[in-house]
Each structure stands twice: as C-alpha cells, then as structure tokens.
C-alpha cells in the first residue's frame, strides 16, 4: 500500500523541466494576446477620432473639402462579391472532384501539388500576372474585373483545400448508406456530403473574404485606385470594368502621402471588418454544426 502511494506521489510530482515548459507555453500565449491587443488598441485609439458620417459616406474632393472612403468601401464590396461568384463554384467543384470522383494517382497528386504551390506564391507575382494577362492580353485594363479575376487565383487554393478537408471529415458510412439505398452519386453528394461538410466550406469562404479584404499588392497592379461613386443605376454595372481602389489601396496611398490620420481611420474600418468576419465565421460554423447534429438526431 505504501509503495503504491509513493508511486502515485512520484507521478504527481511536477518535474522542473515540465514546469519550465508550461511557463514558456503560457508566456507565449500571453505574448500573442498582448500583441493582438496592442495592435488593435493602438489602431483604434489613433483611428476612432477620424471616423464620422462624412468619412464613411463621401469621397475625396478638393472642391467640397471632403476626404471619405465611401467609394473604396463600395469597391471592396464589388471585389468580394465578384471574386466569390467566380472562385466559390470552381473551388468547391474541384474539391468534390478530387475527393469523390478522382482516383488516387499521379493526376490527383499533380492537382494537389499545384494547389499548394498556388497558395504559396507571393501576391505581387499574382498582381504582375493579372496585369499582363487579364489587363493587357484580355484587354480588361485597370478594372475591378481584372482585380477580381486575379484574386480568384489567390483564394481558389484556400476554398479548395478547406472544402476538400471538410469532405474528408464526413464518415464513409454516409456514402455507403446513401449508395446502398439506390441514390445516385451526384444526389448523395448534393444532399448528404455537401450539407454535412458545410461548416468547413463556409469557413473556407469566409477566410477567403478576409484574404480579399486584406490584399493590396496584387490589386494595386490590377484594379487601380479609382474612388468615385456611380452617378446612376447603369453606373453600378459599368463600374465592374472601371478602375476601383479598395480600402487597402486607399490606406497605402494615404500613407504614401503622409496622410496618417486618414490612414489610421481606414485601418480602423478594416479592423472592424476583419473582426466582424471572424465573429460571423464562428456564428455560422456553430449554427451549421448545430443543424447537422439535429439532422443526425
């Protein structure tokens, strides 16, 4: 009995190296939190004083004496919607093919290698390619469409890999059960696989939105820096083929002109957008997980 108690006491005794590693782990976590709070807090303090209704609803005008980002906000929304309309179906379709139809082999390995390589290419190279191919060769010029096509190449690996990993988490019993009762493969994918993998797919799409919102180098080469608002309904359609600077582009231009107050104001808006994206990600993923659990039950 005494021997057993001594063994238990020895196991419960914390070794010095374990205590040191635990301390380092907690310090690392604390530093990460402090860095985040420091950056967010500094930008909020410097930028919140710039934010007002005029800043959010007007465009830069020397005649009216205004400096607003309404045009840049609109351009950012255009870039997000147009990029996702192109990239999401292609990314999800590629993931479904790789996970459900393609047989393991050289072709699948080549596609996965290509996808991983695309995700590691510097954004400035995407911008150079987009400017030459979409802008000059296809004659789209500096436009939101050129920027969206370039951003599609950048976020496609993100959506594809997240969707592929989400599909891999669906149990094989779902596939065999659906096929066993006579369902076609496409019907099984459409009604069982994709809904079950939807939390992972949504996460990939929202992460892609964050990538689009935060990108500047590639868009500077492809989308230009236009900031004017359309004057009529037709102008909203024509704007796709016109230059359009996003919030990150305007932030870069403001910093290059030493307009630091305006730059911190734009940074404040960008941080708010990023925080909203993160909260939406958590909300939708939890909601989809809850719906999947209820459907299983």
Check residues 286 and 122 and name the one with the higher pLDDT.
122
Check residues 220 and 111 and name the one with the higher pLDDT.
220
Cβ-based neighbour number of residue 174 at 10 Å = 14
Averaged over 234-258, what is the pLDDT?
89
- pLDDT at 90 exceeding the cut of 90: yes
Tens-digit pLDDT profile for residues 146-168:
999 999 999 999 999 899 888 88
Share of the chain above pLDDT 90, in %: 28
Tens-digit pLDDT profile for residues 109-121:
888 888 888 888 8
Per domain, the residue ranges of the chain are 2-47, 53-296
Domain 53-296 belongs to what topology?
Answer: MetI-like fold (1.10.3720)
Q: What is the pLDDT of residue 5?
A: 47
Q: What is the pLDDT of residue 3?
A: 55
Tens-digit pLDDT profile for residues 95-109:
998 888 888 778 888
Structure token digits, residue 206: 């929202």
Q: How confident is the model at residue 188 (pLDDT cuts 50, 70, 90)?
A: confident
Q: What is the pLDDT of residue 11?
A: 52
Is 222 in contact with 130 (CB distance < 8 Å)? yes
Cβ-based neighbour number of residue 138 at 10 Å = 12
Tell me the pTM. 0.85
Q: What is the pLDDT of residue 295?
A: 64
Residues 267 and 247: their CA atoms lie apart, in Å, by: 8
Q: How confident is the model at residue 183 (pLDDT cuts 50, 70, 90)?
A: confident
């Amino acid at each position: 009995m005494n021997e057993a108690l001594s063994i238990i006491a020895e196991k419960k005794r914390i070794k010095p190296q374990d205590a040191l590693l635990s301390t380092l782990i907690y310090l690392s976590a604390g530093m990460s939190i402090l860095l985040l709070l420091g950056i967010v807090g500094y930008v909020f303090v410097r930028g919140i004083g710039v934010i007002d209704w005029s800043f959010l609803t007007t465009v830069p005008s020397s005649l009216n004496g205004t400096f607003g980002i309404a045009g840049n906000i609109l351009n950012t929304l255009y870039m997000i919607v147009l990029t996702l309309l192109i990239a999401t179906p292609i990314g999800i379709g590629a993931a479904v093919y790789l996970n459900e139809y393609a047989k393991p082999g050289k072709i699948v390995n080549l596609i996965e290698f290509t996808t991983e390589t695309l995700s590691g290419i510097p954004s400035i190279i995407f911008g150079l390619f987009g400017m030459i191919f979409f802008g000059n060769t296809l004659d789209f010029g500096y436009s939101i469409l050129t920027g969206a096509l370039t951003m599609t190449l950048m976020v496609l690996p993100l959506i594809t890999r997240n969707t592929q990993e989400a599909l891999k988490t669906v149990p094989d019993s779902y596939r065999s059960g659906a096929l066993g009762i006579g369902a076609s493969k496409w019907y099984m994918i459409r009604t069982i696989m994709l809904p079950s993998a939807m939390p992972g797919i949504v996460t990939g799409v929202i992460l892609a939105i964050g990538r689009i919102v935060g990108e500047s180098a590639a868009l500077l080469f492809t989308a230009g820096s236009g900031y004017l608002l359309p004057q009529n309904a037709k102008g909203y359609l024509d704007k796709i083929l016109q230059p359009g600077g996003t919030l990150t582009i305007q932030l870069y231009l403001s910093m290059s002109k030493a307009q630091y107050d305006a730059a911190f104001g734009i940074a404040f808006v960008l941080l708010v957008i990023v925080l909203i994206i993160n909260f939406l990600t958590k909300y939708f993923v939890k909601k989809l997980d809850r719906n999947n659990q209820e459907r299983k039950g």
